[in-house]
Structure 1
Amino acid sequence: MDLSSLSDFDLVATHGGFGKASRSSGRAKATLSRRIMDLEQSLGVRLIERGARALRLTEEGAVLYERTHTLLADLAEAGASVSGGHTAPRGTLRISAPVLFSHTLMGTLSTEYAGRYPDVRLDIRAEDRRVDLVEDGYDIAIRVNPHPDSTLVGRCFARDRMLLVAPAGLRRPRRTRGAADIPDIPAVTLNNTSDQGPWVFLDGKTSRTVNPVPRLVLSSLIMVRDAVRAGAGAALIPQSMVRPGPASEGLAIWGPLPDRQVELWALHRSRRLVNAKVSTFIDFLCARFPDRWL
């Protein structure tokens, strides 16, 4: 596949027509058309359906554009970097981030980053599903306690820990004498977790165990925290969500869960050039949390 012809195809597909691509690049429409026909012939498929007033990508053309557009931009940026050209990040940076992190922090973080790098357009999607960076077209995926993945690399930029939190009016259960004497407590749990108990937490330096009896099963940690504040029962909530303030009023912290540290990682594809958009955003996240705690 000829890289120059592929670049011309990307130019036409991006602008949606030969005329706009020609005006943007200064290249003749006839030249662009010929180079794309050469590319189609080399691949053995039609990439563009040409109409009298407009063109559209074929199914094969859409797949090729989706898989190569970002790669071509990265190659151009890398070339400019090594040749001493413009190295400031620019273009669209697509990020997938967990819903809770997005709703509580991403608005502020993205605004700060955009203020530093005005040539970058951030496209951030709040979602808890495990996205495929290549298939879904993301540059960065922020994940909580990610499983090892040989195709991705990244950095841990922040940590948190889980606490057992209860309504201020809920009486703390008595100390137990053994596994047969574990007290039940009313609880609020998440519907997407298998962590239904028992819950082991630290009461000072003493390890204690309680058995949660779910009264509410909810789909978000914000809902869980608010239900605990309203008196529904105890729950496991990240420490970052119960800092002193209006949102934590009416809550009592019974203690942390040992060995339940939460790590947030910013991951990107390892088999691609790490462009300036990706590297500056990850550096920004790490600098934003210098002690690594949310």
Structure 2
Amino acid sequence: MDRIDAMRAFVAVVTEGSFSKAAITMQLSPQLVSKYVAKLEDELHTRLLNRTTRKVSITEAGSQYFTHAQQVLLSIDEMAAQLGGLQQHPKGILRISAPVSFALKHMARLITDFQSQYPSVTVDLQLSDRKVDIVEEGFDIALRIGQLESSSLVAKQIAPIRVVLCASPEYLKIHGLPKKLEDLEAHRYLHYSYMNVETKGHIYKYLKAKQFKEHSIFRSNNGDVLVEAAIAGGGLILQPTFIASDALHTGKLVVVLPEYEPDPLGLYAVYAHRKLLPHKVRCFIDFMTDYYGAPPYWDEHITQAPNS
């Protein structure tokens, strides 16, 4: 027996003064209402109502229980109303984890536009390139870039992420334009520490396997630093276009060996549950899905090296 339903039946009988009227109010049969109350009394080991063929009267224990039951049911109904309001009008704190470089370049306007549409949602955006545990650390959503492995989490792809090999025109004038993969052995390479060699594309495996000039290798776990080093003539980089887009649009960097461009990665919104998803989470995912465009705006007008 559902204790809440039994409690509602008892309160309805006391309020309406009879089982038949309570049954009409609850849209149940009088027999079921009577059964609910009887089961409640059995569980409490206390008589709550005195029944005669003509009327129903409340006992002293029933009177005390009635007061508390009303408060409990009122609290439950208020909570249900509040949660229903959250589903209809999203509000509350939305905690998001996002990669550092992507968030710095492409999430400020997204969050601002989202909150213009949903002003009751407070966004707590935390930047980190590590793989956070969204359940343990209390995040509603984590944005991740890569080729995701299967897991118990739900992942929604937001945008494709191109990764290109590029260098500054000044660097290429001095060191020459690579025409094939083997030409890279003569070049300086600025290495991203988190590059995944399992990602599809020959160029990933080649860059990982080949030995470049030891004195010229620059390693960093931050793509923005590597892009700035490449602009300054430090060497070749293999970076996502969402990081290098400004430099590629202005010609400070140019794409080399475009025929070896690896398969795109993905930007994913990862969250814990598909069912009973809080409305603030669903609204943010839906808002973000088409926000960046297809293809994303940062992939427009990318400059390639002449005769590449």
More deviation, 256-265/166-175: 166-175
> Which one has the largest radius of gyration?
2
Of 184-193 and 228-237, more deviation after overlay is shown by: 184-193
User: Separation in 1 of the partners of 2:233 and 2:81?
Assistant: 55
Alpha carbons of structure 1 residues 283 and 187: separation in structure 2 relative to 1, 3 Å: same
State yes or no: 1:93 paired with 2:97: no
Query: Contact (CA 8 Å) 1:146, 1:265: kept in 2 or not?
Result: no
Does residue 123 (structure 1) correspond to residue 124 (structure 2)? The answer is: yes
* Aligned position for 2:241: 239
Query: In the alignment, is the contact (CA less than 8 A) between 2:95 and 2:140 conserved in 1?
Result: yes
Quick one: distance in 2 between partners of 1:231 and 1:182? Answer: 15
Q: Displacement, 1:76? A: 4.5
Which residue number in structure 2 is paired with residue 191 of structure 1?
Answer: 193
Please provide the CA RMSD for this pair: 3.4
Change (3 A) 1:212 1:239: farther
Tell me the distance in 2 between the aligned counterparts of 1:182 and 1:226: 20
Aligned counterpart for 1:229 among listed residues 225, 228, 231: 231
Runs of at least 5 residues in structure 2 that lack an aligned partner in the other structure: 5-75, 204-208, 299-308
CA contact (8 A) 2:168 2:231 kept: yes
Name the counterpart of 2:270.
267
1:141 is displaced (CA, Å) by 0.7
Give TM-score, length-normalised by structure 1.
Answer: 0.61
**Residue 283 of structure 2, aligned match among 262, 270, 280:** 280
Q: Counterpart of 2:267 in 1: which secondary structure?
A: strand
List gaps (5 residues or longer) in structure 1. 5-71, 202-208
Greater share of residues in helix: 2
Q: Distance in 1 between matches of 2:95 and 2:129?
A: 15
Percent identity over paired residues = 26
Work out the CA distance in 1 between the residues paired with 2:272 and 2:81.
17
**1:246-274 Cα shifts (integer Å, max 9, x gaps):** 98543221134433312000011126521
Kept after mapping to 2: 8 A contact 1:78/1:275: no
Partners of 2:232 and 2:195 in 1: how far apart? 22
Structure with more of its chain in strand, by fraction: 1
What does residue range 202-213 of structure 1 map to in structure 2 within 5 Å? 212-213=212-213
| Contact 2:164–2:262 (CA under 8 A) maintained in structure 1 | no
**CA pair 270-150 structure 1, distance change in 2 beyond 3 A:** farther
